[in-house]
A = this chain, B = another copy of it.
C-alpha cells in the first residue's frame, strides 16, 4: 500500500538545517542510522516493520506547489530556498532489516546513505513510519506468543490514532502473525484478510434479539458470527441454538462472539450450550479490552475460546505506546561521528549486525562497523540504491513467514510476556569500541560509552 504524505510532514528544523547545509555546500555523504536506544520494560524483543512504507516515502518525496508557496511566503527562509526544495529528491542508498525481523536495542534497523540535505530531511517521516509499524508488530508478536494457534484479529480502527494508524496497525499486526483485521480498507488496499461480526446496535435496533440474529445471518449466510452479550449472553446462546435448528442448510453459524462479563465462565457455559445444541463446529470468539496478558490468562484457565479480537491495546501498544526510536548521524564526509549527550550517546560509523545461533535458537548478536566481518548472519541488507528500490515490494506472506520463523527461533526466556531477568546479549565489537575512542579523541569528548 502506498500512502501519499506531504513533504512538509516534517519538523520545521529540518528545513532550517537544510538552508544552512545549502548555504555552506554541506552536501557530502551522510550516514544516518535508525535504531531503538532502549527496549521498554515490558519488551524482550522488537520486530521490524514499516520498511515498505519508508521506501515508498523516499521514492515519492517531492514538494507540492502549495507547499513551496508556503515556504516562500513564510518569510522564514532565504530567497532561492524554495527552488532548492522544488528540486529535492531522495537519491541515496538504504540498508535495512527485512520486515518481520526480530531485533534488539542499539541495533540499526535502517541505514540511510545520501547527500547530507536529503539524509537529514527524511528523518521525521522515516521515524514516524518505521517507529509506529515496529511498535505495533512488536506488540502483536506478544499476542501471537500468548495465544498460539488461536485466530487473532485486529479490531482497533476506532481507537487507533487516526486513519493511517488504523491502516498500518492492520498491516503490522498481520506481519507479526495476526490472522487479519476488521478494517475493510486494509483488505481493499493491501489484501489483508478481513473479519467481521455484528455490533450491539444491530441487536438493539430490533425489538427481538432472535429476529436480529436471523436477519444478520441471512445477510451474511456463509460464515455468520453472532454477538451474544447485548442483553444476556447465555440466553442469547440458547436463541442461537434454536435458530440453527430452524434456519435450514443455507446458513452456517460459524461462530459466536462474547464481548463483556466473565469471559472464561461465559465461554465455558456458551460452549456447553452450543455443544448440547449440536453446534460443535461453531467457534467461540472473545473481545472486549483484551491484550496478551488477558488472552494468556483465559487460555491458561482453560477457557474454550477459539479466537480473539484485540483492539485498543494492540493498535496503541497501550503498555508501551512509543519506543525510544531515533535516527542519528553516524558519519559525515567520510568521518565517523557520534553524539555524547548524557545518557544518549551513540556508537559512531556505518554498522552491521550479525546474529549468532546456538542449538537452533538466537544466542547473541554482534554490532560492529560495516567492514568488520563477523561470524553469524548479517541482518542489514541493501534495499535501495540511488533512490530506487533494488527489489520488487516484498509479499506480506513472505514477511509473515519470516516473522513466524524468527519467533520460533527466539530463546524460550524471551518468548514470555514478563521481562526476562537475563535479556538478549548484544555485543558491541572491539572494532566499534575502538572507533568510538578514536572519534572521542579527535573531538575531545568524554568516554560515556567506552569500557
Please judge, given known A-B contacts A17-B216, A162-B161, A260-B344, whether A443 and B128 are in contact too, CB under 8 Å: no
Bound CA–CA A158/B34 (angstroms): 12
Decide: B19 and A128 in contact? CB cutoff 8 A: no
Asked whether A316 is an interface residue with its Cβ less than 8 Å from the other chain, the reply is yes
Decide: B3 and A163 in contact? CB cutoff 8 A: yes
Decide: A157 and B445 in contact? CB cutoff 8 A: no
Please judge, given known A-B contacts A30-B205, A128-B160, whether A183 and B11 are in contact too, CB under 8 Å: yes
Counting every copy of the chain, the complex holds 2
Please judge, given known A-B contacts A218-B23, A341-B200, whether A316 and B161 are in contact too, CB under 8 Å: yes
Range of interface residues on A (Cβ < 8 Å) = 35 or more
One digit per residue, 1 when the CB lies within 8 angstroms of any chain B CB and 0 when it does not, for chain A 146-188 equals 0000000001011111111111110000000000001111011
Asked whether A338 is an interface residue with its Cβ less than 8 Å from the other chain, the reply is yes
Decide: A158 and B187 in contact? CB cutoff 8 A: no
Q: Which secondary structure characterizes the binding site on chain A?
A: mixed
Stretch at the interface among A322-330, A363-371, A430-438: A322-330
Decide: A6 and B185 in contact? CB cutoff 8 A: yes
Q: Which residue from B12, B30, B169 sits with its C-beta under 8 Å from A194?
A: B12
What is the CB-to-nearest-CB distance from A320 to chain B, in angstroms, rounded to a whole number?
9
Asked whether A342 is an interface residue with its Cβ less than 8 Å from the other chain, the reply is yes
Closest residue on chain B to residue A32 by CB atoms:
B201
Asked whether A124 is an interface residue with its Cβ less than 8 Å from the other chain, the reply is yes
Decide: B128 and A231 in contact? CB cutoff 8 A: no
Decide: A13 and B196 in contact? CB cutoff 8 A: yes
Bound CA–CA A24/B206 (angstroms): 11
CB-defined contacts of A204 to chain B, threshold 8 Å: 329, 332, 337-339
CB-defined contacts of A32 to chain B, threshold 8 Å: 201
Decide: B20 and A215 in contact? CB cutoff 8 A: yes
Asked whether A67 is an interface residue with its Cβ less than 8 Å from the other chain, the reply is yes
CB-defined contacts of A202 to chain B, threshold 8 Å: 17, 20, 120
Decide: B184 and A11 in contact? CB cutoff 8 A: yes
Decide: B188 and A67 in contact? CB cutoff 8 A: yes
CB-defined contacts of A261 to chain B, threshold 8 Å: 341-343
What is the CB-to-nearest-CB distance from A178 to chain B, in angstroms, rounded to a whole number?
15
CB-defined contacts of A408 to chain B, threshold 8 Å: none
Please judge, given known A-B contacts A260-B342, A322-B312, whether A329 and B184 are in contact too, CB under 8 Å: no
Q: Which residue from B12, B24, B335 sits with its C-beta under 8 Å from A187?
A: B12
Asked whether A243 is an interface residue with its Cβ less than 8 Å from the other chain, the reply is no
Decide: B322 and A318 in contact? CB cutoff 8 A: yes
Bound CA–CA A343/B125 (angstroms): 41
Bound CA–CA A197/B215 (angstroms): 60
What is the CB-to-nearest-CB distance from A153 to chain B, in angstroms, rounded to a whole number?
10
1-40 of chain A: CB within 8 A of chain B: 3, 5-6, 8-17, 19-21, 23-24, 26, 30, 32
Pairs of residues from A and B, 4 with the lowest C-beta to C-beta distance, nearest first: A12-B196, A162-B164, A20-B219, A161-B161
Known pairs A12-B187, A15-B196, A201-B329 / 15 extra A-B pairs, C-beta < 8 Å: A11-B183, A12-B183, A20-B202, A128-B158, A131-B159, A161-B315, A162-B165, A164-B165, A200-B339, A204-B338, A205-B333, A259-B344, A262-B342, A312-B322, A321-B321
29 CB contacts below 8 A, A to B, read A5-B163, A8-B184, A9-B166, A9-B183, A9-B184, A11-B157, A19-B220, A20-B202, A20-B215, A20-B218, A20-B220, A26-B205, A120-B202, A123-B201, A127-B159, A132-B160, A158-B327, A161-B169, A163-B164, A200-B328, A200-B329, A204-B337, A204-B338, A204-B339, A230-B341, A231-B339, A288-B344, A312-B322, A317-B321
